[in-house]
Structure 1
Amino acid sequence: MEILDILIIGAGPIGLNCALEAQKNNLTYLIIEKGTIVNSLYNYPLYMRFFSTAEKLEIAEIPFITTAPKPGRQDALEYYQGIARQKELHLNLYEKVLNVTKTDDIFEIETSKSKYLAKNVIISTGFYDIPNMMNIPGEHLDKVKHYYTEPYPYAQQKIVVVGSSNSAVDAALETYRKGAEVTMIIRHAEISKSVKYWVKPDIENRIAEGSIAAHFNSELVEIKENSVVFKDEKGETHEIENDFVLAMTGYLPDFNFLRNTGIDLQGEHLNPFYDPETMETNIPNLYLAGVVCGGKDTHLWFIETSRIHADIIVKNILASKNMTQNITK
């Protein structure tokens, strides 16, 4: 069985960037991805627009051309999937990594379809796979959605949107404009400061005029078939009619997978250990890249800030490889 120089877990923008860097330096590599290319972006809301401009989303100095000031989901899919085609990246799609184990200096990677050997492993799995659950009665009901794609199914329905981040605000505004009766349940005293600057005045004005109801310093406590129960800032309980709950409560990395590989998870936010100089974890030759580095602090890393990880990791791998060759000589 071939022993790869690098096996990359995850075909998101940063995983692709790692592959491009490996390819440029003549290292053998393979990306394993449980879904499609940039699977997380594929699952974003259909009409989502990025906060960043196109040049900040570029990888490997390949221009990201778009006519819009802020690229949208489809622009990004065309860009990243186009790179994978053009550069003929080595990808295995719809294959899930189950286990990563290490014997001596070689990793064995077991997937849903096969097994692979590699000298180095890069985990670049993002954080969009596991919803941050509310853990309240009724959360299992079919009317509860942790992923929002488009507003049309919610026309003329009574919608509760949980949260005040970009995803929650987008869902509230889009469903309201398609005829939904929207109520937002927000833990904090105001709309999140991280909401896109061109969207924040829109949601605040809709709330101020009463078009969208918002309960601040409030918490959803139960979901029923035809209603929801929430507690307001005074601790008083209210029940309102409801057809759908859009729980935009955020997402988490797969901590069980990280833990099972042997990576140390530190503190209450489960921040995975890595050396910021090399991106190497406490397991030698096992690296992290991209937003997975932040643990529960998923706001710490973005495409534009973590695309440097590929260069850092490959330089370290090359340095280690050269050192080993010199020792052998």
Structure 2
Amino acid sequence: MEHFRVVIIGGGPIGIACALEAKQKGLSYVILEKGPIVNSLFNYPINMQFFSSSEKLEIDGIPFISKEAKPKRNEALEYYRRIVTSNNLNIRLFEKVEKVEASGSGFTVRSSKQEYSADKVIVATGFYDLPNTLDVPGEDLPKVSHYYKDPHFYASQKLAVIGASNSAIDAALECWRKGAEVSLIIRGAEVGQRVKYWVRPDIINRIEEGSIKAYYRSTVKEIKESEIIINTPEGEVTLENDFVLALTGYKPNFEFLESMGIELSDDEKRLPRYNPETMETNVPGIYLAGVICGGMETHKWFIENSRVHAQMIVDDILRKKAVASEH
């Protein structure tokens, strides 16, 4: 069984930042990532453009040069991949962590491929793994997806997009521009206020001119092979439909956190318990980094404001090591 001072779960930007910090401070480490490098970013839509500027996505002071002020998905993939390869980071890809349990003074980490022992564990798994489901009949049909990739797939199709956030609005606009007949189903009274400021006027104009049909204060009742039934303020409406993009957000794997003994708040936010000064959870030796810290408040933490977690965590690990050596 291989032993590391630190096992980092998740190979996204913040997991990479943690690895860089550990390497620079002389701690043995390994990143375990269930997919490719920055798996969550890889699964973003092909044409996705970040809200943040490139310098705010930088980690460890490594410059991120992009063609525009706000980089796109392919540029981010290149940036983080080059950081991993040029720094020869110890990352194991397509290796999903299945269980973490206390073992002696440290932990045993079991993955889909092998077991590791670790003194400390950093959880940087993000929240993109589990979609918020609609829980309606027909949601399991092949025509329904909770992830959006490429607008070309929906050309000349009747497409229902469910949601009012950036992912839903981007998908609605891109697919409409590729020739899809788009219906936008929004639970609230308007397009989300957090939609990118240069995109929000675009979707509102498309709705007002009738290019995209929006149903506000509406929810899905049922999805059928060739129809989707929605509840609207005017009553039940049945739409002809070929595909459904249910882009209603995502959530962390709370079951995985709880399996490690990490406590979550009892309210709908499901906030994990950790020390904001060190990022250590209620389980000594297990730390959280990145967006996972926000529970269901997935808009709270981003790459730009959670980059600091890496240094906070490694500094605390080294501080505890120094204290232990004195005794």
TM above 0.5, yes or no, is yes
Report the residue type matching 1:265 in the other structure: L
Distance 2:128 2:161 in 1: 18
Native 8 Å contact 2:227 2:240 kept in 1:
yes
- Could you tell me how far 1:104 is from its partner in structure 2? 3.1
User: Which residue does the alignment assign to 1:198?
Assistant: 198
Alpha-carbon shift at residue 297 of structure 1 (Å): 1.0
Question: Are the counterparts in 1 of residues 269 and 296 from structure 2 also a CA contact under 8 Å?
Answer: yes
Which amino acid in 1 is paired with 2:103? T
Shift of 1:29: 0.4
Letter in 1 for 2:263: D
Q: Deviations over 1:121-167 (max 9, x none)?
A: 00000011111101000000000011000111111111100001000
Question: Aligned partners of 1:233, 1:124: CA distance in 2, in Å?
Answer: 41
Q: For 1:272, what is the secondary structure of its paired residue?
A: coil
SS at match of 1:89: coil
The whole-number CA distance in structure 1 between the counterparts of 2:188 and 2:45 is 24
Aligned residue in 2 for 1:261:
260
Partner letter of residue 85 of structure 1?
T
Aligned to 1:38: 38
Q: How does 1:84-123 map to 2 (within 5 A)?
A: 84-123=84-123
Structure 1 distance, partners of 2:160, 2:255, is 31
Identity between Structure 1 and Structure 2 (%):
55
Take 2:317 and 2:2, find their aligned partners in 1: how far apart are those partners? 18
| Partner of residue 248, structure 2 | 249
Deviation, 1:233, is 2.4
- For structure 2, the residue ranges without an aligned partner over 5 or more in a row are none
SS in 2 for 1:169: helix
Distance in 2 of aligned mates of 1:70 and 1:325: 46
CA distance in 2, matches of 1:48, 1:240: 28
Q: Distance in 1 between matches of 2:306 and 2:243?
A: 36
Once the two structures are TM-superposed, the CA of residue 2 in structure 1 deviates from its matched residue by 4.3
Paired residues of 2:279 and 2:289 also in contact (CA < 8 A): yes
Q: TM-score normalised to the size of structure 1? A: 0.98
TM-score for the superposition, normalised by structure 2: 0.98
Paired residue for 2:324?
324
The root-mean-square deviation of aligned C-alpha atoms, in Å, is: 0.8
Q: Which runs of 5+ in 1 are unaligned?
A: none
Q: Deviations over 1:2-23 (max 9, x none)?
A: 4311100000000000000000
Per-residue CA deviations over 1:158-184 (Å, capped at 9, x if unaligned) read 110000100000100011011111000
Question: 1:271 is paired with a residue of what secondary structure?
Answer: coil
Partner of 1:239: 238
- Mapped to 2, the partners of 1:69 and 1:289 lie a distance apart of 26
Q: Distance in 1 between matches of 2:105 and 2:298?
A: 31
Q: Which residue of 2 aligns with 1:300?
A: 300
Q: Distance in 1 between matches of 2:214 and 2:255?
A: 35
Q: How does 1:59-208 map to 2 (within 5 A)?
A: 59-208=59-208
Whole-Å separation in 2 of the counterparts to 1:57 and 1:277: 22
Q: Name the SS for the 1:265 alignment partner.
A: coil
Cα displacement string for residues 81-105 of structure 1 (whole angstroms, at most 9, x for unaligned residues): 0000000000110001010000231
Distance 1:199 1:180 in 2: 18
Local SS of the residue matching 1:321:
helix
SS in structure 1 opposite 2:34? coil
Give distance in 1, aligned partners of 2:23 and 2:233. Answer: 55
* 2:220 alignment partner in structure 1: 220
CA distance in 1: counterparts of 2:79 and 2:215, whole angstroms: 39
- Measured in 2, the distance between the counterparts of 1:280 and 1:56 equals 25
Q: Distance in 2 between matches of 1:93 and 1:3?
A: 18
Q: Which amino acid aligns with 1:276?
A: P
Matched residue, 1:282: 282
C-alpha contact 2:279 2:288 (8 A) present in aligned 1: yes
Aligned to 1:312: 312
Structure 1 stretches of at least 4 aligned residues deviating more than 2 Å after TM superposition: none
Whole-Å separation in 1 of the counterparts to 2:66 and 2:163? 31
Check conservation: 2:2, 2:115, Cα contact below 8 A: no
Once residues 67 and 294 of structure 2 are traced to their aligned partners in structure 1, the CA distance between those partners, rounded to angstroms, is 32
1:203 Cα deviation (Å)? 0.2
In structure 1, distance between residues paired with 2:276 and 2:30: 24
In structure 2, what residue type is equivalent to 1:179?
G
* Aligned-partner SS, 2:50: coil
Task: Spell out, residue by residue over 1:233-288, the C-alpha distance to the aligned partner (whole angstroms, 9 max, x if none).
Answer: 24x11111000001001111111111111100112221111110110001001000
- Whether the 8 Å CA contact 2:64–2:79 is kept in 1: the answer is yes
- The residue type paired with residue 28 of structure 2 is T
Q: Could you say which residue in structure 1 is the equivalent of 2:5?
A: 5
Contact kept? 2:126, 2:292, Cα under 8 Å? yes
